[in-house]
A and B are shown apart, each in its own frame.
Chain A
């Protein structure tokens, strides 16, 4: 049975901090959706722009057409954030009353916060912003789970597992397994599968 998209086009933004595995998460998710028969357009920037800065991948999923690699403002349907302040950064630009946000709660302080020039919002402020700016939201400590699994880098896959758990998109465990069989070396699949399952269980 083929699951389906909630709308004709679905706009997804995956965001985080350079080095958190944003690009890999977007590739894995896109691969699953292409296998499911959708036309996917991914827009992302990498290179020097990822050195510790904010990063974003725009995924546009359509049953029919190629879309612009950049999502217009206020038009995100789903935001997946590997870092909570990055969720807010994307929300204020691409959010709308119907948006769903799945965010990692693990904080990565920007340099300006470490130096004391800026303040990082409190967890309550973040939660309240999510409440006001989203239709649905989930804040989970994916990094803690990844650290337990032995490598914080797995946070991105924990998040993809959690995304499958939200049932916002037509993706499941089998699709993930198929995708990593194609794209990952055999020695890495086991731990990624475990990370996916752990994420899915978090919801």
Chain B
């Protein structure tokens, strides 16, 4: 049995994202949508697995805005729905979210955002808590695994009560961490969809669902927010633990609650420091603050990443000075804690120790000395493209084509594993020059191509993955074609949303729920736009770079090259070698080759290693994926490949 369907009262080990999914099931969610993005993807993946059994509709939408629209339709029809994304997805969805928050909703609807402080799997550490404040909607943040489930369930109830969308925010250390969760009851029946819209404009359940009349609806929206604040005063998810008269009060939320707890016990401060855990972080409930701010005059705020709580608490405290007295605040603004990167128990303990003038017991001096001796022996291990990764071959092709062209062409990157080419230039052969949000590479390329009149006359390339193409590239591509932007646009098509775990996208003939659906063909879209289109296998180095070079030489129009090769980690490919690779020792010239070890210094495949003793290239058969590409790069033809059998 899928553990997401465990019977009530059983205790199971759930990842934060699984707990959120279970919470939604317990709330009776009918429709769940999202766009993949680490650390959020497992919520939808898990719901998709139980979709049939729980009578759900689950969809990976083309992007987060569409995902939220699909989920909102279900809410308008009285169903409970959820929409899941990573932090920057909220930016994509935000235009609709603004209007949704003004029109109001019907069935409970929860926007789940899983954010990435420290950017462990992102190219930003943006956070969406400010959206809750800016767009005037409630914000909930679970602080442990049980709460990830329970608070999700309650989020639906809250949304339905105030008839508006609710944001539930998690972070990597909650979403991808796991802990014990006691399951609740799963509802027996699912709801029936019914959309009524012939009532008056101001009727929240029967009128048309619109944000007009704007001022009247805005007024109504603010009343809903006040109603939420009232509920937050009493809800047990916000709670205090600690002494009756603490010397210092920590106010914290999300994973930072666990760090704070740990820091207090690491320093043995349980009798001196109290913790107010907030799981409802916008709007702040004023009476709760009147009660707890009185406990002490020293307040420490522990949160990730920006001082969101700190700002809001300080503003609120200013308004209640008479009741609570003057406070000293410790947080991000006075640099007690960093306002960039993620926190952890050590950082919180160090800050807390400084305030409380307590020292944390450290390691014996002799041990520390030994550590200092060992540390320099450890070579760094940077991320790299996997053995057999099509991107390594694609960037090899791009690099070759740029060199042959000789005009120092500009390559605009995009979001996917291939973004690593911009993060660690050596693994992308120093080709990628820009990296921003999904689809931005093509928009930027469209702009660079227009700078010729101002003296920037270089070939311009843009690249993106297949899922990114559908997500945000199409408008930029149409822009390029319509405005005669001379760009070579490369699609790194590896047949799925590979980086986040092979979620299907519109290019595949299978839906999130495993049904047969029409595939939307990238090549046909590009042809329809009017671009010149070619398709190539990036493992065919010679053929691919020939097309690329000719595309770059052709002036004045949009050219599209689709590089098709399935991701090395995809279920259909993983563990299956196409070729058995070998280095012929007698042919390998080692350091004397004159190629400066093209194979092991430049190509950078973890499976193509260097035999330190013999000073020759060596295939690590345990790691080699058998893609066969390195066969084509050795000028000596010392790397051989034979078709693998069986």
Interface residues of A (CB under 8 A from B): 17-19, 27, 30-31, 34, 39-49, 51-54, 66-74, 85-86, 88-89, 91-92, 95-97, 106, 108-116, 118-121, 125, 129, 132-133, 143, 147, 151-153
Contacts and interface: CB of A to CB of B under 8 A. Distances in A.
Nearest to B86: A47
A118 B379 contact: yes
B18 to A, nearest CB: 12
Contact of A47 (B39, B178, B427): B39
B622 A147 contact: yes
A92 B378 contact: yes
Contacts of A109: 606, 609-610, 620
Q: For A69, A125, A152, which residue has the most chain B Cβ atoms within 10 angstroms? A: A69
B363 interface: yes
B240 interface: no
A120 B411 CA distance: 34
Interface string B380-412: 111111100000000000000000000000000
21 contacts: A40-B13, A45-B121, A46-B121, A48-B419, A66-B180, A69-B173, A70-B345, A86-B381, A89-B381, A92-B378, A96-B367, A109-B610, A111-B427, A111-B604, A112-B382, A113-B379, A114-B609, A115-B601, A129-B377, A133-B367, A151-B575
How many B residues touch the partner, as a band? 35 or more
Interface string B1-29: 00000000001110100000000000000
A18 to B, nearest CB: 7
Given A40-B179, A41-B177, A97-B367, A18 B383 contact: yes
Given A66-B258, A114-B609, A129-B377, 13 more contacts: A46-B38, A48-B121, A51-B417, A52-B382, A53-B382, A68-B345, A97-B364, A115-B604, A116-B601, A116-B610, A129-B374, A133-B374, A151-B575
B600 interface: yes
What 7 pairs across the A-B complex have the smallest Cβ distances?
A47-B38, A69-B177, A47-B121, A118-B379, A53-B383, A110-B381, A68-B258
A187 to B, nearest CB: 14
Main secondary structure, interface of B, reads mixed
Contacts of B262: 67-68, 72
B225 interface: no
Contacts of B380: 110, 112, 118
Given A69-B173, A114-B600, A31 B13 contact: yes
A132 B370 contact: yes
Nearest to A35: B13
B378 A85 contact: yes
A44 B177 contact: yes
Nearest to A93: B371
A129 B120 CA distance: 29
B495 interface: no
B585 interface: no
B156 interface: no
B259 interface: yes
B377 A39 contact: no
A115 B617 CA distance: 11
Contact of A46 (B176, B377, B604, B606): B176
Contacts of B121: 45-49
A121 B377 contact: yes
B359 to A, nearest CB: 14
A30 B181 CA distance: 13
A51 B367 contact: no
B211 interface: no
A88 B120 CA distance: 22
Contacts of B220: none
A31 B3 CA distance: 12
Contacts of B620: 109
Q: For A18, A74, A118, A152, which residue has the most chain B Cβ atoms within 10 angstroms? A: A74
Nearest to B374: A129
Contact of B259 (A44, A51, A68): A68
B371 A92 contact: yes
A74 B350 CA distance: 14
B180 A40 contact: yes
A116 B597 contact: yes
A42 B178 contact: yes
Contact of B363 (A41, A49, A96): A96
Given A18-B383, A39-B179, A68-B261, A49 B120 contact: yes
A54 to B, nearest CB: 5
Contact of A74 (B362, B610, B622): B362
A30 B597 contact: no
B237 interface: no
A73 B347 CA distance: 10
Nearest to A153: B575
Contacts of A40: 13, 178-180
Given A47-B499, A67-B262, A113-B379, A108 B344 contact: no
Contacts of A70: 173, 259, 344-345
Given A53-B383, A68-B259, A70-B259, A43 B606 contact: no
Contacts of B345: 68, 70-72
B255 interface: yes
Given A30-B13, A118-B380, A42 B258 contact: no
B383 A133 contact: no
A85 B375 CA distance: 10
B589 interface: no
B173 A43 contact: yes
Given A39-B179, A51-B417, A52-B606, A66 B144 contact: yes
B178 A30 contact: yes
Nearest to A125: B377
Contacts of B346: 72-73
Given A52-B383, A54-B381, A66-B145, A88 B374 contact: yes
A114 B608 contact: yes
Contacts of A51: 383-386, 417, 420
B643 to A, nearest CB: 21
A167 B369 CA distance: 30
A39 B12 CA distance: 10
A50 to B, nearest CB: 8
B179 A41 contact: yes
B422 interface: no
A44 B180 contact: no
A134 B178 CA distance: 28
B173 A92 contact: no
A118 B379 CA distance: 6
A79 to B, nearest CB: 13
Contact of B172 (A45, A66, A68, A86): A45
B349 interface: yes
A40 to B, nearest CB: 6
B623 interface: yes
A39 B181 CA distance: 9
A8 B238 CA distance: 28
Contacts of B179: 39-42, 66, 69
Nearest to A44: B176
Contacts of B383: 18, 48-49, 51-53
A133 B374 CA distance: 9
